[in-house]
Structure formats: C-alpha cells, structure tokens
C-alpha cells in the first residue's frame, strides 16, 4: 500500500507573488509529507493552462524536492513526449541524472498532454500526436540502457551517439502511463507498465479500470513491452481534505473540487473560467457540481460524443475523502479493495489554503497511514 501526493500547481490568483508562494508551499508540504511517512511526490506537466496547472517544469520541482529530502520518492506524472516539447534524448538524460542524484528514488510516467492549447504551443495538432508519443515511449528506455543509440524513425531521427548518464536504477526507473480512458488502461497493461489513473474516479469505477488493466497486463505480448522492467501497478487519484472538523473539510474540499472541475472544463471543453465562492456551503457546492455534470453530459450528447468516466469523473464526489481521519480511512480502504496499489492524494486544488493542506498531511500521516501499515504488518504475520 503506497500513499503519495500529486501536484498541479493550481491556483486562483495568478500573480507572480501567488505563483511563487504556491511553489514554496508545495516544497513545505512535501517536506512534511516525508516526515509523515508518505511514499512519493508526483508532479504533472502542463503548459499554457492558466489557473488549472502552472506545473510546467516538473523536472525542476522534483529535483529541488529530491535534494531537500532523503527518503521520499519523486515521480513524473507524467512527462509529455511531443518531441519539440521534450526530445527523447533530453528526457533520457534528465531522468537518468535525477535518478542518480536521488539515489534511485525516481518514477517515470509518460504521456502526451490533454489539450490543443498545449499541443499547439509546440506546433502540433493534438489529434496527430499519439504515433510520435509511441515512438518516443519505446525509444527512451533504449537510450537509457544502450551504450550508443541510433534511430531513424518516422518522427524522430538520431545519428549514432553515446548518451550519458545512465540511471541509478538498473536497468531504468519504473515506467508508467497516464490513464483516463479504457483504451489507455489497456495500452498501459499491454505494454507492461504502470497505470496512473488521474481522473476523480470513485471505488466502483476504479474496480472496473483495475480489471481492464490487470487483464491487459496478464495477456501482454513480449514484443509490446515498453522498456526492460515490467511494472504492474495501478495508482488511483483521490482528492482529499482531512480535518478534525468534518464540515469544514467538506466545505473547503468541495470548493476546491469545483474549482478544479471548472478549470479543466475551461481548457478541455471551452467552458467559462472557474469561480471561487467561499460563502457557499458544502451542500451548495455539491448542487453546483451536479448541475455542471449534467451540463457536460448534455453537451457531449449534442456533439454525439460517447460519454465516459473521463468526461464526468471530475464531478464525482468522494464524500468520505472530505472529512475527518476516520472518514478518510473508510474511503481509502474502498480504493484498495477496488484494486489500487497506490493512492495519489490531490490536496492542492484552487482555493484550498496551505494551512488546510498541512493539517490534511498531518492527519493522514498520523492516523490514516499508520492504520494501513498496521494492517500490512498483521497480514504479514498471518
């Protein structure tokens, strides 16, 4: 059972002062997370998505955190692989270097990014990216293990060169994919790498996705393997605010989730900019989330787009994850029972104050993680 935190660097106020404060708060939260027994700090990668995600240089953030800590792992969730954005040679070099400096504490997720806003920044059409992402995904592990690399591909051409350094972990860090749709879960399993389920899926949906992923992993073909280190691992996102005051946690958490849902709808679906109303109760925020969910369903129906969990999960509310430590334990148990190997806690949503996140980390570290570690010890003894 792994307990981690994933960061978007999401914010309401986009001033320079707010940006700077947000990144320093992420570091402070990560340092506390190490003390509280968390396993990994993950960072996404997005470009040009104002408010939704200012985490555009995760390699810098993760390197800073790794240098300031001694035990906790760091993870790319994920590196975007369009070649003009992140050339495979530079990705291999950066991953190997950070793996060395962190003494093997690095996890390496890969993906393509989710919006035309991002793809267009680097001159791409989002709908045409997948073949070049696949080419990079298969190429990067080879760069990290071979003495020299030479590649004459459709999208990437590299003359014979020695690429340095090589990773600390042998043959390379564990590999993952960002997964939101059934097709990507199948792809991750078939390619023998971990699945980072980054939607707000509840336990029932995680169970369905877990079954798809495990079946694909179990029936994978050797020629489809990405890299040289098969990794069977499913990590489930869990937005959470865990305070001693349950009602305060629900009000703050639901406000943050609404901001998250509205900001992603703005960039992914062309919706209005997100809003923050601190005066609304938890029940009022719930009602708004449901209205917005139905509006999304109506829009997709009008556009004749098949409706999946990837479209509506941002409006799915994990009631017990916004509450006190006992509530959180119940919900996390359901995620583990659904097949998750790792919980990717999302605390840092727009409008959730730093103090509430720090209290959440303490509560999970002092009460939630020890509960599950105790269960593991008991099971091992049996």
> By three-state DSSP, how is residue 268 classified?
helix
The answer to whether position 317 is within a domain reads: no
- At 114, list the tokens: 């989710």
Both 174 and 77 in a single domain?
yes
Assigned token pair, 319: 């009631």
Position 278 in a domain: yes
Class of residue 126 by CB neighbours under 10 A (exposed 0-12, middle 13-18, buried 19+): middle
CB 85 within 8 A of CB 56: no
pLDDT the model gives residue 269: 82
Beta strands in 49-102 (DSSP E): 73-80
Better-predicted residue by pLDDT, 97 or 306 = 97
Last residue of a domain, one of 266, 288, 312: 312
The model's pLDDT over 272-287, given as tens digits with 9 standing for 90+, comes to: 899 887 888 888 787 7
Q: Are residues 275 and 304 in the same domain?
A: yes
CATH of the domain at 123: 3.20.20.30
The residue segments making up the domain with residue 288 are 246-312
User: Averaged over 248-256, what is the pLDDT?
Assistant: 93
Tell me the per-residue pLDDT of 24-77, one tens digit each, with 9 for 90 and over.
999 999 999 999 999 999 999 999 999 999 999 999 999 999 999 999 999 999
* Chain centre to alpha carbon of residue 166: 25
Q: Which of 359, 356, 368, 370 is nearest to 330 (CA)?
A: 368
- Considering Cα of 61, then 63, then 66, then 67, what sign does the dihedral take? negative
Rounded CA-CA distance 172/146 in Å is 11
Q: Are residues 359 and 271 in the same domain?
A: no
Burial class (CB in 10 A: 0-12, 13-18, 19+), 358: middle
Whether 25 is in a domain gets the answer yes
């Amino acid at each position: 059972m792994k307990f981690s935190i994933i960061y978007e660097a999401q914010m309401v106020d986009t001033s320079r002062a707010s940006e700077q404060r947000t990144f320093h708060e992420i570091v402070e939260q990560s340092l506390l997370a190490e003390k509280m027994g968390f396993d990994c700090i993950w960072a996404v990668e997005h470009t040009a998505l104002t408010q939704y995600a200012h985490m555009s240089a995760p390699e810098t953030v993760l390197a800073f955190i790794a240098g300031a800590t001694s035990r906790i792992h760091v993870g790319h969730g994920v590196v975007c692989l369009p070649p003009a954005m992140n050339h495979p040679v530079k990705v291999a070099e950066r991953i190997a270097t950070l793996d060395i400096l962190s003494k093997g504490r690095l996890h390496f997720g890969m993906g393509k990014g989710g919006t035309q806003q991002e793809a267009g920044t680097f001159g791409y059409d989002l709908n045409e990216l997948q073949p070049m992402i696949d080419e990079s995904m298969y190429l990067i592990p080879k760069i990290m293990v071979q003495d020299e690399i030479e590649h004459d591909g459709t999208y990437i051409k590299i003359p014979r060169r020695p690429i340095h350094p090589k990773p600390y972990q042998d043959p390379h860090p564990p590999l993952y994919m960002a997964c939101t749709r059934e097709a990507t879960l199948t792809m991750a399993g078939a390619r023998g790498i971990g699945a980072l389920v980054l939607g707000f899926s509840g336990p029932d949906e995680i169970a369905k996705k877990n079954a798809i992923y495990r079946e694909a992993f179990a029936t994978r073909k050797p020629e489809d393997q990405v890299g040289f280190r098969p990794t069977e691992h499913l990590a489930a996102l869990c937005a959470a605010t865990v305070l001693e005051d349950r009602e305060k946690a629900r009000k703050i958490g639901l406000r943050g989730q609404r901001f998250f849902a509205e900001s992603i709808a703005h960039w992914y679906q062309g919706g209005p900019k997100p809003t923050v109303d601190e005066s609304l109760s938890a029940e009022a925020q719930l009602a708004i989330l449901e209205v917005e969910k139905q509006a999304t369903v109506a829009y997709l129906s009008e556009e004749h787009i098949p409706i999946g969990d990837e479209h509506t999960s941002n409006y799915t509310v994990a009631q017990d994850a916004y509450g006190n430590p006992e509530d959180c334990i119940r919900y996390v148990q359901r995620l583990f029972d659904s097949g998750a190997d790792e919980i990717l806690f999302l605390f840092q949503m727009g409008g959730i104050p730093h103090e509430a996140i720090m209290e959440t980390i303490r509560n999970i570290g002092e009460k939630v993680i020890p509960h599950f570690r105790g269960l593991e010890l008991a099971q091992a003894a049996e």
